[in-house]
Structure 1
Amino acid sequence: MSAWEELGDRTWVRRYPEYDVNVGLVVGSEGALVVDTRGDLEQGQQLLADIREVTELPVRWVVNTHAHFDHVFGNPAFPEAKSYAQENTAAAVAETVAIDISFSVAKVIELGDRRVEVLHLGNGHTDGDVVVVVPDVDVYFAGDMIEESAPPSYGEDSFPLQWADTVDRLIGLLTATSKVVPGHGAVVDAEFVRDQNSDIGTVANTISGLHHNGTSLEGALAHAEDWPWPQAHLEQAVRRGYAALGAPPRPTLPLLGLEKDE
């Protein structure tokens, strides 16, 4: 059974075996804030019970890092809390989960004697990714922009060509002592984030290079070299990248050795 891991003053993460998902908990003088709520109502209710192991303060705020079900469908277990998400996330889950407060770029949530900052740094895993920052303890809940227990997940709503630039903005906020909580897996540091982002950048550059060279989508999907992760894992990355870039240019034939007409 998982347990709470304290990352700093009144700041915890709990790693659940279902989907290997991480949940964050930040407590201030006026209540508790939860980062992501697991995959359904029952899991959310179990999370609420688990929170009572470390605090009896009410859960007044919920922040969802993105729209995927394993991070947001537990929200109904917290009916007294105000839920926050980036506006694209709120739109994506509107038919299944209500978000109380949506925003475009940034939101500050005051917990009484401390604050939490919620930042949308750009597109990556989805178009609604946010990083939840706890400044006084140098902790960053990064959602699925960063993953530790598996390669980053490129789904049908990912942005493989923009992802590395978005993580670069996160890296710009980190210090040598920052603790970064990925959406799935163990807590990591800034060096891990930099290393993983190098691989994310390699995926983007390989897709762009194949496209620039006139490789068809089918050819790119069959390309077996240069990838940092298994080719099969990157099918949607290639498809999404090519969709963003449009039809590849037609390869041109070299004209060397041909005489010009006089």
Structure 2
Amino acid sequence: MSAWVELADRTWVRRYEKYDVNIGLVLGSDGALVIDTRGDVAQGEELLGHIREVTDAPIRWVVNTHAHYDHVFGNPAFPDATSYAQENTAAAVAETVAIDVPFSVAKVIDLGDRRVELLHLGNGHTDGDVVVVVPDVDVFFAGDLIEESAPPSYGEDSYPLEWPDTVDRLIGLLSATAKVVPGHGAIVDAEFVREQNDNLGTVANTISGLHHGGTSLEAALAHTDDWPWPQAHVEQAVRRAYATLGTPARPTLPLLGLAKND
């Protein structure tokens, strides 16, 4: 387990061996804000102890980047904090974790002498992904929209066709010196985000091309060319995209259409 790394003024990340998940901590004059809380209450309580290694300031805010358990189920360890999440995330975890402040597109949290911005830039890893921006130090906590230690994860609640556009919006916010904290893995920069999004775009475009060409789901799942990652990794992306696009139409040869007009 690694120690806290101070990315910038009063802005830290801690990378946990369990799930290789990154947790953020931002300190302001009015208290501390935690970004994600790990996978269960015990892990959240361990996180609380680790935060006390850095600051004894009251933990007044918790932000969850999305609904997956390894990022949100530690919330009950922070009963005095106000929790924030995109409204789709809040709905997805409602039976397990209560979120105090659901929001749709954007929210600003005032930490006293600085602010933190919460942005839902579109669908991607889930329909509730939030990027947490600390603008005064050019740090972005991207959740699982970006991953460093493995390829981006296409789960049963992912949006492979929309994901590249969402990350494009993130790229538009990044300076050349921005520090981006992925949901899992090492800290990255804008160039890494652009390269990863090129791969996300390749997956989306390949699936769209197969579908447009009349390729069946079964044949698309067996497709081995063009993928930037192992075929097995993109299987769920194919299934999710085809569920959105529907059954592909049989391709019509232009020659047949001409024959009917003769």
TM-score (norm 1): 0.97
1:2, CA displacement in angstroms?
Answer: 1.3
The equivalences for 1:91-240 within 5 A come to 91-240=91-240
Q: Distance in 2 between matches of 1:84 and 1:158?
A: 21
Matched residues, number: 261
Structure 1 unaligned spans of 5+: none
State the match for 2:38 in structure 1: 38
Q: Deviations over 1:7-49 (max 9, x none)?
A: 0000000000000000000000010000000000000000000
1:252, CA displacement in angstroms?
Answer: 2.3
State the match for 2:10 in structure 1: 10
1:254, CA displacement in angstroms?
Answer: 5.6
- What amino acid sits opposite 1:102 in the alignment? P
User: Structure 1 vs Structure 2: percent identity of aligned residues?
Assistant: 82
Q: Distance in 2 between matches of 1:30 and 1:50?
A: 20
State the match for 2:19 in structure 1: 19
Counterpart of 2:243 in 1: which secondary structure?
Answer: helix
Q: Distance in 2 between matches of 1:137 and 1:146?
A: 19
Q: Distance in 2 between matches of 1:140 and 1:261?
A: 59
Q: Distance in 1 between matches of 2:105 and 2:69?
A: 22
1:247, CA displacement in angstroms?
Answer: 1.1
Q: Deviations over 1:151-179 (max 9, x none)?
A: 00000000000000000000000000000
Q: Distance in 1 between matches of 2:74 and 2:147?
A: 21
- What amino acid sits opposite 1:252 in the alignment? T
Q: Distance in 2 between matches of 1:36 and 1:97?
A: 13
State the match for 1:84 in structure 2: 84
1:185, CA displacement in angstroms?
Answer: 0.1
State the match for 1:247 in structure 2: 247
1:260, CA displacement in angstroms?
Answer: 7.0
1:249, CA displacement in angstroms?
Answer: 1.2
Structure 2 unaligned spans of 5+: none
Q: Distance in 2 between matches of 1:121 and 1:259?
A: 48
Q: Distance in 2 between matches of 1:114 and 1:149?
A: 31
Q: Distance in 2 between matches of 1:109 and 1:254?
A: 57
Q: Deviations over 1:38-78 (max 9, x none)?
A: 00000000000000111000110000000000000000000
TM-score (norm 2): 0.97
